[in-house]
Structure 1
């Protein structure tokens, strides 16, 4: 069987997990306010013929807490899977973790497509979430371990770009499917189910394609070296980094540094507990908070519940769906600058600028809604209880678009790029699983929190998220070191040196010196197999 070695093609395939994550976000946003969904999953005793649309059924839909539970169930599954993804990836390889994720997604898609009640919907979303949890934890690790240092940020950042594409593509699929079935006065009649079953069934197609292609993807060379498969690792480095030339100075220098780093860490602990001892606790907290802060911007939950935001701004029906689509397109387009320039910008400035801009837009929305809004108890939706109209509503939509445009090129991609760069090989898989588990824990909490928050504290929810963005700006400035342009092994030296975060700069010197040494013949050419590797602490526990 042939092997796919082009780094951009490999990135596109590996990031299918991000595409599936995006599918989930837009499926909720596009469907949860539709009449068919509200009637099917709302309390049956609340279903009645619509007074304004004779012949159609109306229902206020699931209560805020129930809808929060439905949405958050995916994040709950992601939390569980991401927490244990490090053991799976370290024991069986990065590719195996991705393949397992595809299987879980197909199971979840079958359950949601055949859904009969809220309980079945939640179980299906938990399976979908387990796929997303595995992929979101291990795809950045896989790409960071396989990518050349000079374009690592660009390739790992494609995980976020894939999420934005997934959101955008699946939103328009859901929009198209919303016209399936009988329409009354231009809206669903509240009696059909195909409008949400069809998209929930179609979402399994990318996972099936990826399952077929995973065997053609190379394994992580760093993982192979830890298993004693050095010749295969060197071959893959040559294929991916230098069009098959294993004797390329860049390949040899990279291979040398990986082997040296793994050799130096032989015998050291590589279990989850080791993330919090031997001086690792500081960088573990940075890894976890990178993902936590990304959630506390409110971006993902605002994407889930974007239809509620537009209802509060007085925009409903097809106009609201089109307005949602515009925001998703902005998300896709504005992620591109980060993919092109993130390795030139650096990680710290990008995070700081992003959180500052988002603070402005969040407080602006809160001010507009607080000053110009009014109670809206008869919205027809159990979540939406506040509305702003007139010019202020247009300003709210504009600020929402600007918020997305600020998140997309900053915290969106950098939260996936930054974490895998913080740890050496022996702890990278587990550090990414713990940090991603933190992401999903807060995604779960916020997914559950937002509908009741919109119902109870209304526009003040934006003040809560604005306070979070202020806190993250301060935290990044004082604690997050720059890692752009450095080899993964070189990043270790930053934390060992004790240099303050605000004094770190992008760029690498070690790899350039190693490449030059290979060119002038002062470094050996490696082709040998390594000795039998030692198991990690967690693998020893599994074998015991």
Structure 2
């Protein structure tokens, strides 16, 4: 949307001048649908499995893309984006669950982080496609990119046909032979007697048998005393990731840079740099997040983002002035003007803000929640956490244009305060999960350690090294480089 909402073709067709609250509604329709899709995804995933639920999401995305591609007015556009959002809700909730359940503990964060990296690539590619299409005449300038976005969903649906199902989901459905074969394929080069595979199967079997002693999982179980702390942490992670203000930057970066004095092609090209930064700066997190741990990653990220947000707010307050009535380029949300060195500093701080998010909260906020919950409630729990992400995305997407219009630079101060609050919250309440097996994390929560006394597991096994199995049920195996 960020490359399209500022074009004459879009505004003339759906306008002529789209009010801030209407544009907020168009933008927020997708996260609104995502909220609904995420809530439903837990039921779909537990019944059909992680793999099939993602394929359902891919099909829904294709339907939504067709709907917005042929949209004739704002209501049709809103409905199409809501359908697309429903797909996003399903996939964003269940892809991290699927990856977490098939990944080894020592690279789980890296693999779930790849989801976020893929998202950054998608954002960047679609921005440049939309930017290129903006040079076209008529409605093709926005219909072409809205139609092309169905392509990845087709690839996703077909590609999933060749991927295995979650071994933990299979085990919970008593499909033990399939679960063991899948684990052997994933972690033992097809050898079911591999020490890692045998240990993993024992862990899964013990956890499934323990969970069988409990009633079938419901959403109400997420709020029982034994689980509610994890629910609070997972929900908070997703809510805080939105309250950093990152998606506001993604949606409305053209408004911010217009207030910094950019216009025309310079505005769109300068806005696009943030997408490149987002892609590049996610890579270090993929490589080292499992070594850094989740806590330090989140704490450092929120502290840096707080600094850039307060700096931007201060610069706009000290060196800016109100825009003429009607806003810049007839966009009421672009309600403040900054020129000179301050405008360059605002652009620089905006880039640094994106870099700080991309290397910290971007991948970590998707990696962390699936690690918190036991198998029997993981699908529903992550669905609930992801729904919280999308309902806050919806609220911010809808209200931020009006906020820029009415409180102007103070928007930055509001998000800076949020970053300060999340830093304190993470320090006192978020335990470390990096390097721990999903079953080991369950034991950690039962012991209830102080969050700041947890650390990256000493059992973290480097890639290419077999895990030692010290149980009495399997022979001792020395560390051996493959």
TM-score in terms of structure 2 length:
0.95
List aligned pairs for 1:83-102, cutoff 5 A.
83-102=39-58
User: Which whole-Å CA distance do the structure 2 matches of 1:247 and 1:449 have between them?
Assistant: 56
Q: 2:36 maps to which residue?
A: 80
| 3-state SS of 2:337 partner | strand
The 1:112–1:174 alpha-carbon spacing in structure 2 relative to 1, beyond 3 Å, is same
Look up the match of 1:18.
Answer: none
Aligned to 1:30: 3
The answer to whether residue 325 in structure 2 is matched with residue 371 in structure 1 is no
Which residue, 236, 241, 256 being the options, matches 1:309? 256
Q: Which of residues 115, 123, 135 in structure 2 aligns to 1:179?
A: 135
Alignment partner of 1:106 is 2:62 = yes
Is the alpha carbon distance of 1:34 and 1:256 closer, same or farther for their aligned partners in structure 2, counting shifts above 3 Å? same
Cα distance in 1 for residues equivalent to 2:38 and 2:82: 12
Deviation of the 1:521 alpha carbon: 2.2
What is the CA deviation profile of residues 161-198 of structure 1, one whole-angstrom value per residue up to 9, with x for unaligned ones?
111111111111111111112xxxxxxxxxx1110000
Please say which of residues 472-481 and 305-314 is displaced more in the overlay: 305-314
Residue 498 (structure 1) aligns with: 448
Deviations along 1:403-447, one digit per CA (max 9) or x if unpaired, are 001000100000000000001100111110000000001000111
Match of 1:210 in 2: 156
**What is aligned with 2:480?**
none
Residue 197 in structure 1 maps to residue 143 in structure 2: yes
Taking the aligned partners of 2:331 and 2:460, their CA distance within structure 1 comes to 59
Q: State the Cα deviation string for residues 488-510 of structure 1 (Å, max 9, x = none).
A: 01101121112100000111549
In the aligned structure 2, how far is the partner of 1:504 from the partner of 1:427? Answer: 24
1:487–1:508: 8 Å Cα contact kept in structure 2? no
Q: Distance in 2 between matches of 1:294 and 1:356?
A: 13
User: Would you say 1:122 and 2:72 are equivalent positions?
Assistant: no
**Helix, strand or coil at the partner of 2:26:** helix
* Contact 1:418/1:483, CA 8 A, preserved across alignment: yes
SS in 2 for 1:408: helix
Structure 1 residues 117 and 334: alpha-carbon distance in aligned structure 2, compared to 1, 3 A threshold: same
Taking the TM superposition and a 5 Å limit, the aligned residue runs for 1:328-347 are: 328-347=275-294
Is 2:38–2:89's contact at 8 Å kept on the other side of the alignment?
Answer: yes
Deviant stretches of 4+, over 2 Å: 508-523
Matches within 5 A, 1:344-423: 344-377=291-324, 378-379=327-328, 380-423=330-373
Q: Pick one of 203, 208, 213 that aligns with 1:257.
A: 203
Q: Distance in 2 between matches of 1:121 and 1:324?
A: 24
Q: Distance in 2 between matches of 1:306 and 1:488?
A: 38
Give the superposition deviation at 1:520. Answer: 5.9
Q: Deviations over 1:44-98 (max 9, x none)?
A: xxxxxxxxxxxxxxx4x31111111100000010000101111100011001110
Provide the residue aligned with 1:468 in structure 2.
418
* Residue 471 (structure 2) pairs with residue 521 (structure 1): no
Q: 1:433 aligns with which of 377, 383, 387?
A: 383
Instruction: Quote the Cα distance in structure 2 between the aligned partners of 1:339 and 1:516.
Output: 30
Note if contact 1:252-1:518 (Cα within 8 Å) is conserved in structure 2. Answer: no
Match of 1:290 in 2: 237
- Equivalence for 1:142: 98
Deviations 1:2-40 (A, max 9, x none): xxxxxxxxxxxxxxxxxxxxxxxxxx1100011111111
Report which stretch shifted further, 264-273 or 194-203.
264-273
Unaligned ranges ≥5, structure 1: 1-27, 43-58, 182-191, 524-544
Give me the whole-angstrom Cα distance separating, in 2, the residues matched to 1:485 and 1:519.
Answer: 23
Report the Cα offset of residue 518 of structure 1: 7.8
* Stretches of structure 2 lacking an aligned partner (at least 5 in a row): 478-482
1:93-132 Cα distance to aligned partner (Å, 9 max, x none): 0011101101110111001110100000000000110111
For 2:305 and 2:333, how far apart are their aligned partners in 1? 24
Residues 31 and 37, structure 1, Cα contact 8 Å, conserved in 2: yes
Aligned partner of residue 190 in structure 2, secondary structure: coil
Instruction: Show the counterpart of 1:477.
Output: 427
Q: C-alpha distance in 2, partners of 1:84/1:288?
A: 16
Query: Take 2:472 and 2:198, find their aligned partners in 1: how far apart are those partners?
Result: 7
Task: Tell me the CA shift for residue 213 of structure 1.
Answer: 2.2
**What SS class does the counterpart of residue 359 from structure 2 fall into?**
coil
* Paired residues of 2:468 and 2:476 also in contact (CA < 8 A): no
Pick from 429, 439, 443: which aligns with 1:489?
439
